[in-house]
Amino acid sequence: MSEASRLKSTVYVGGLDNAVNEKLLADAFLPFGEIIDVTIPKPELLSSQDSHRGFGYVEFEGAGDAKEAINNMDQSEFFGRVIRVAPAKPQKDSNEGLGSKTAIWETEGWIAQHAVSEEDRLSAQEAQHAPIPSEDPMQSIDSDVAGPRFQESTR
């Protein structure tokens, strides 16, 4: 089965109670069609007291079965909790978005958008090597008094 058709036949089930396991989830969705796989992700932290992360995936044999499950099970009650059933989305690459392991400037898209053109780089180098004017801007000051100059008014 191709990845695209597999994704169309997989549903996301959110809001699961901690008492729910893979067998109970499979039994709840069995009336809608042949189930190929049921997955309930475990917590990432080993110290977590929860048996799972509160959501799971049910993969059906056909996309029509998945649609039927979504239409009938979304917003229904399961083990005392209202569950959300929706089409599964493709898993994000671990290198994109918040929580990624790669710095944003190391991604290809960021570099393409923010890279400096060769023309800009050359003009910046020219500005660094430009001769410094020998004229002192402080030479035009007439007196040593700091502050604004006032003209004396005649009355």
Following CA atoms 131, 132, 134, 138 in sequence, which dihedral angle do they give, to the nearest 10 degrees? Answer: 160
82 HSE (CA, 13 A, CB side): 2
pLDDT on residue 131? 72
Task: Reply yes or no on whether the pLDDT at 13 is more than 70.
Answer: yes
Q: Is the CA virtual torsion 120, 126, 129, 135 positive or negative? A: negative
pTM over 0.75? The answer is no
The amino acid occupying position 9 is S
Share of the chain above pLDDT 70, in %: 68
pLDDT on residue 143? 61
pLDDT on residue 105? 64
State how far the Cα of 77 lies from the Cα of 97, in Å rounded to an integer.
Answer: 32
State how far the Cα of 15 lies from the Cα of 51, in Å rounded to an integer.
Answer: 13
Token pair, residue 59, equals 């993969």
Q: What is the number of helices (H) and of strands (E) in the chain?
A: 5, 6
pLDDT in tens, 93-146: 555 555 566 676 666 666 666 676 777 777 777 877 777 666 666 666 666 666
Please compute the mean of the pLDDT values over residues 24-49 and round it to a whole number.
Answer: 89
Query: Which DSSP state fits 18?
Result: T
Query: What mean pLDDT value characterizes the chain?
Result: 80
Task: Reply yes or no on whether the pLDDT at 21 is more than 90.
Answer: yes
- Biggest distance spanned by C-alpha atoms of the chain: 104
Query: 44, 52, 43: which is closest to 14 by C-alpha?
Result: 52
